[in-house]
Amino acid sequence: MANPRHRLETAGVSIGPRAEFPRCMTAPNAGNTFCGSLMAQAWNDVALWEEFLNRNVLRSIVELGTFRGGMSIFLAMQAAARGARFVTMDSNLGQVENLLFLEALGSAVIEMDLFAESSLETVTNILEELPGPRLLFCDNGNKREEVRRFAPLLAEGDFLAVHDWGSEFFESDVPPFLQLVWPDPPEVSDLIRWFLVGVR
């Protein structure tokens, strides 16, 4: 018989005793996983992603910041199911827990430093090759700099999403050409904001 006080670990992160109610609904770094791979999102964020993707047709999704790969797998599966392309980029692919599965889903997985001098040209070329409407998801180590550098590469009608709203990225960081897709949720705490790229 299992010890009810035994602490569970997922991807090396303690997620609490078995008898404790899971924190995955509201805590983004509580050992949350998707398909067994760690992700830095809470499950309410994932539900809102589903609703965003149901309401907006995308042909390409580009993720900046693969991390352990849990959110990448979610986005890759969404892209595959909806006939879209998926690209994820990170400076350290050695930390990705399920790289072969990501590649089996048809994902382009690119190892690169997003803040290197050459990254702007590389990301520009990648975005130009992808069909629109496109979504750029900024979830690497410096959301402000990612949005500053890469959001201007998006075309009118594309989308941008940013993780860690209210802790690493704020309303004052939003460029004037980005329009919030929907208002702050009244009852659910989430860390993602989606923006439509408008006229500049």
Q: Tell me which architecture the domain covering 43-197 has in CATH.
A: 3-Layer(aba) Sandwich (3.40)
Spell out the domain ranges in the chain.
7-38, 43-197
Closest of 55, 34, 38 to residue 182, by C-alpha: 55
Does pTM surpass 0.75? yes
- Amino acid 184: pLDDT: 73
**Alpha carbons 91 and 114: distance in angstroms, whole number:** 7
Q: What is the pLDDT of residues 78-121, one digit of tens each?
A: 999 999 999 999 999 999 999 999 999 999 999 999 999 999 99
Written as one letter, the residue type at 108 is A
Q: Residue 191's pLDDT band (boundaries 50, 70, 90)? A: confident
Say if CB 105 and CB 85 are below 8 A apart.
no
| DSSP notation for 94-137 | GG-TTHHHHHHTT-EEEE--TTSTTHHHHHHHHHHHS-SSEEEE
